[in-house]
Amino acid sequence: MKPEKQLTRWHEAGIINAEQVELLKHDLKQQAETSYRKNMLATIFTIGGLLVATGGFLFVAANSWIWELFNSGLLKVGGLSLLTFGLYYLGYYLKYEKKSAPKLGETFILIASLLIGATYFLIVQTYNLSISNDLTLLAWLFSMLPLVYIHRLKTLTVISTCIFTAWQLALTLSGAFDYVSQFLVYGLFFYSFGSCHTLFPKFSEIGLTYKNTGLFFVISNLLWLTLLYLGQLIYSPDQGQIYLNQSRELQQTVQGSLLLITSCLLAGFYFYKQCQQKQLIKIEVGVISQIILSVLILSYNLVGSLTGVSLWFTMVFGSLIFGLFHLGFKRENLVAVNLATTYLMLFLIGVYIIFASKNMSMGASVFVVGGFLLMGIGWFIEKKRRALTKAMVEKQQTLITPPVEVPSKEEEEA
Amino acid sequence: MKMKQVILTVLALWGIGILTIVVSQEQHLASGKEVLLKTVPVDPRDLFKGDYVTLSYDINAIDLRKITVDKPSFKEGDLVFVTLDTTDSTHIAKPIKFSHTAPKGDLLFIQGKVNYSTEIMHITYEDIERYYVPEGTGGVIEQARGKSVLVKVALNSEGKPLIKQVLIDGKPFSPSIPRTN
């Protein structure tokens, strides 16, 4: 409910008078205006900083003739390094020491965190080194991660996730990974990495960004895989089976390591958290275990049949959607509910297109049977809920019944 | 630790990382033995590092029947050392020996990796197969295919190569001369 409406309700209930309502409304309006100005300023500075840094990257990539003026690789790299270091220190000075222009200081820190990457690419370019883009991106990521934790700025956190994604993309494009399960592993890793941050309240904002990024990659990849195998099953089961039989073992060190680290992080995190939120944790562990198993199924072709794999992925996708709805309603988290609804709609549209272009009568049966099944589940849950409510009411009535009066010490003595 | 100390630590770490790489490359270029290699260039673009010329050398493919080999068996990814001779009139390096270990003495040799091997051994030489050029100037090297394109390479004590200069018809490549569209 909007605060203004809340104030009116309190006024109508006689909790506050008209003068207080006006005062509070005026205060709220001022707060909103200040917050708008601050956010607008931050946005302008951030966009400006991003443009400057992008220009820096393009300048490096263009390998402009201006570089020739430096006449030596050492001077080129030294020049850009000094500029990066200087901007970072200036940012620190403005934000923390002088405190006169904190937003501008943050922008300088942002530019420095990006230019350190440009410096690495310049080194590779200057000395014609055979270091691949993925390794350079990884070096950049490791260099900017300390900044994420020192300054705890949202923009730096988001940029670090972008670099991590770019690293994964560069690895996939270089052919080092099987693209089918790559982003599932990556999403899981990011989700678990983010989850662990919630143990430290100081870094919970960072953790939330990483967790959401991970969730986005996992759910998108699962949707794609579910529709891919379902589509293959309907359109060309023979070819789909051949494709499935090409075992994609987790030979790659990075992918295997990421999955191992993910499992360890999750096991540690959930072991620690278990006592606090038992039910939600159980559901989360259940869904994540299914996803880890899905990666293994794909990598080692554990199921063997295309029908089995299609069913498995549909079930895992369904579990994730259910888990999100549950989390959304339990914690009144509207983002989770909206995310689950959007992906459920995308899934339904995908399934409709698959059936509509190949086998409409079968599609109709699937939708009708699925719909009735869901209604049945709904009816069962509703019945359970009523029974639970009835039990709770009965329990409350028992508690409300006045207790037997016990004479006090004084009464007994008298 | 105070914020200022943390910031200075980060800056110091960045500086040490960059200096380590740059100084080692500069030292390599300054103290490495120079050698001329014959090449054929082509011209693509990298998203982050810009235009470059892919350099393919005569010594990328070596006929094993024509040179001395220490052991006949090589597999993909093996580290190999090619001993070079620059005593002829052109001073362009030519392979004379092929070995699994670095040659001893004052011999000139280059380190590479086996790509695949038949009677002709195909070798890749990391760090000298790409030459980054200013935007739009890669064509200058590529168009010089009919001419003599040579690469002056610095070899360190392990035989690792690093490009020092690209020579077109004996003159150093300069991006300020004819540009392509």
Domain ranges for chain A: 10-152, 177-384
Phi and psi torsions of B81, nearest 5°: -120, 120
**pLDDT value for A151:** 92
**The tokens of A161 are what?**
């996730």
| Shortest CA distance from B160: residue in chain A | A129
Interatomic CA distance for residues A215 and B151, integer angstroms = 50
Distance in Å, alpha carbon of B42 to nearest chain A alpha carbon: 15
Neighbour-count burial for A324-353, b at 16+ CB within 10 Å, e otherwise: bbbbbeeeeeeebbebbeebbeebeebbee
- Where do we find the tokens 């198993």? A293
Identify from A57, A58, A63 which residue to disrupt to test chain B contact, counting B C-beta atoms within 10 A and taking the largest count. Answer: A63
List CB contacts of A368: < 8 A, sequence separation 6 or more.
none
Instruction: Using alpha carbons, select from B167, B169, B164 the residue that is nearest to residue B30.
Output: B164
Of A24-33, A160-169, B110-119, B135-144, minimum mean pLDDT range: B135-144
Q: Which of B7, B130, B132 sits opposite A63 (nearest CB)?
A: B132
pLDDT band at A231 (very low <50, low <70, confident <90, very high): confident
Q: Which of B135, B133, B146 is nearest to B172 (CA)?
A: B133
* Chain A touched by B26 (CB under 8 Å): yes
Please list every residue in chain B whose beta carbon sits closer than 8 Å to the beta carbon of residue A81: 14-15, 18
Q: Alpha carbon of A3 to those of A7, A18, A188: distances in Å?
A: 6, 15, 38
* Number of Cβ atoms within 10 Å of the Cβ of A317: 24
Instruction: Output the six-digit token pair for A313.
Output: 């992925």
Q: How confident is the model at residue A121 (pLDDT cuts 50, 70, 90)?
A: very high
Question: What residues contact B39, with CB distance under 8 A and at least 6 apart?
Answer: B55, B56, B57, B58, B149, B150, B151
- In chain A, the residue whose alpha carbon lies closest to the alpha carbon of B46 is A61
* Predicted confidence (pLDDT) at residue A252 exceeds the cutoff of 70: no
d(C-alpha B73, C-alpha A254), whole Å = 31
Distance CA B87, CA B97 (A): 15
Residue type, B26: E
**Tokens standing for A83?**
């500029």
Of residues A114 and B172, more confidently modeled = A114
Q: What is the mean pLDDT of residues B150-156?
A: 90
- A92–B14 C-beta distance less than 8 A: no
pLDDT in tens, B88-124: 887 888 888 888 888 888 888 999 998 877 778 889 9
Q: What is the pLDDT of residue A406?
A: 54
Using the Cα atoms of residue A168, residue A170, residue A172 and residue A175 in order, give the sign of their dihedral.
negative
What is the pLDDT, as a whole number, of residue B180?
A: 45
Residue A212 CB contacts under 8 Å (≥ 6 apart), including other chains: A194
Give the DSSP letter of residue B104: P
Q: Do A125 and B132 lie within an 8 Å CB cutoff? A: yes
Contact assessment for residue A21 and residue A9, using Cβ atoms and an 8 Å cutoff: no
Q: Residue A401: pLDDT above 60?
A: no
DSSP state of B175: T
pLDDT-wise least confident of A25-29, A111-115, A181-185: A181-185
Structure tokens at A254: 């990075």
Q: What is the pLDDT of residue A394?
A: 74
Least confident segment among A116-130, A277-291, B120-134: A277-291
Average pLDDT over residues A246-273: 68
B7 touches chain A (CB under 8 A): yes
DSSP secondary structure, B9-60, as one string? HHHHHHHHHHHHHHHHHHHHHHHSEEEEEEEEEE--EETTTEEEEEEEEGGG
CA–CA separation, A336 and A275 (whole Å): 23
| Whether pLDDT at A113 is above 90 | yes
Average pLDDT over residues A292-310: 77
In three-state secondary structure terms, B162 is strand
Range B149-164 burial, b when 16+ CB lie within 10 A, else e: bbbebbbbeebbbbbb
pLDDT higher than 80, residue B163: yes
pLDDT at A117: 93
How far is Cα A290 from Cα A298, in angstroms, rounded to an integer?
Answer: 12
CB of B156 within 8 Å of a chain A CB? The answer is no
- pLDDT at res. B97: 87
Q: Calculate mean pLDDT across residues A167-180.
A: 71
Give the closest of A128, A136, A146 to B163, CB-based. A128
* The two three-digit tokens of residue B117, written as one number: 């091997």
**pLDDT of the residue at A386:** 77
For residue A247, is pLDDT > 70?
no
- Range of weakest confidence among A188-197, A240-249, A333-342: A240-249
Mean of per-residue pLDDT scores for chain B = 82
Residues 6 or more apart from A118 whose CB is under 8 A from it?
A: A53, A56, A57, A60, A80, A84
Q: Do A89 and B50 touch (CB under 8 A)?
A: no
Asked if pLDDT for residue A395 goes beyond 80, the answer is: no
Average pLDDT, chain A: 81
Model pLDDT, residue A356: 75
Chain B hits for A92, CB-CB cut-off 8 Å, are 3-4, 7
**What percentage of chain A exceeds 90 in pLDDT?**
17
| Predicted confidence (pLDDT) per residue in A314-354, tens digit | 888 988 888 888 888 877 777 888 888 889 888 988 888 88
Q: Name B63's Cβ contacts closer than 8 Å, sequence gap at least 6.
A: B119, B120, B121
Q: How confident is the model at residue B181 (pLDDT cuts 50, 70, 90)?
A: very low
What is the rounded average pLDDT of the residues B24-48? 80
Is pLDDT of A153 > 80? yes
CB A166 within 8 A of CB A137: yes
Question: Average of pLDDT values for A30-55?
Answer: 86
Task: Name the strand (E) or helix (H) holding B8.
Answer: helix B3-31
User: Is pLDDT of A410 > 80?
Assistant: no
B79-85 and B94-99 as β-strands: parallel, antiparallel, unpaired? antiparallel
A295-302 average pLDDT score: 73
Whether B155 contacts B83, CB under 8 Å: no
Residue B153 near residue B131 (C-beta atoms within 8 A)? no
Task: Identify the residue with better confidence: A175 or A401.
Answer: A175
Please check the confidence at residue A204 and state whether its pLDDT lies above 80: yes
On whether the CB atoms of residues A255 and A182 are closer than 8 A, the answer is: yes
Give residue B133's pLDDT band: very low, low, confident or very high (50, 70, 90).
confident
ipTM for the complex shown: 0.74
Q: What is the structure's pLDDT at B179?
A: 46
pLDDT tens digits along A67-105:
666 667 788 889 899 999 999 999 999 999 888 888 899
Distance from CA of B126 to the nearest CA of A (A): 6
Res A89: pLDDT:
93
- Rounded to whole angstroms, the Cα distance separating A33 from A42 reads 14
- The span from the CA of A347 to the CA of A367, in Å, is 12
